[in-house]
Amino acid sequence: RLALSYAGVVIEEAIAVEVSEQALEVYAHNFGTAGLVKRDLLGLNTAWFEKQRCKVWTMSPPCQPYTRQGKVRDTEDPRAKPLLHIISVLKEVPTPPDVLVLENVQNFERSDSCALLLEALASRGYSWR
């Protein structure tokens, strides 16, 4: 969200899903608590996402599944599960977002997770760069 504001994108309303207490505190400090959802992303189904009707999804996958330090476990790494869940939701949600913004994580572009994401994007008619 902060990066979008630096790019001049005005965010009038946002929903942020997070379980980390530290991340929740930082978000609340910067943006307030409105729209802050303290839940595990894996517990949010497609119907929940459809109800939100968010036009922009921003995502920041963890770097560990895609690096040597994380043993390059990719989709087998439990820390990749939230991203894989979002990919599944993206395939199924009746009203997908207009835009997806994904943080650049080193080696992600060579991963099976990335291939799954690109497949989901293509199936929904998105283009990317």
DSSP, collapsed to helix, strand or coil, labels residue 87 as helix
The beta-carbon contacts of 115-121 under 8 Å, at least 24 apart in sequence, are 116/75, 116/84, 116/87, 117/83, 117/87, 120/87, 120/90, 120/91, 121/90
Q: CA angle at residue 20 from 16 to 22, to 5 degrees?
A: 100
Give me the catalytic one of 14, 16, 59, 63.
Answer: 63
Q: Is 63 a catalytic residue?
A: yes
User: Distance between CA atoms of 16 and 24, rounded to whole angstroms?
Assistant: 9
- Annotated catalytic residues are 63
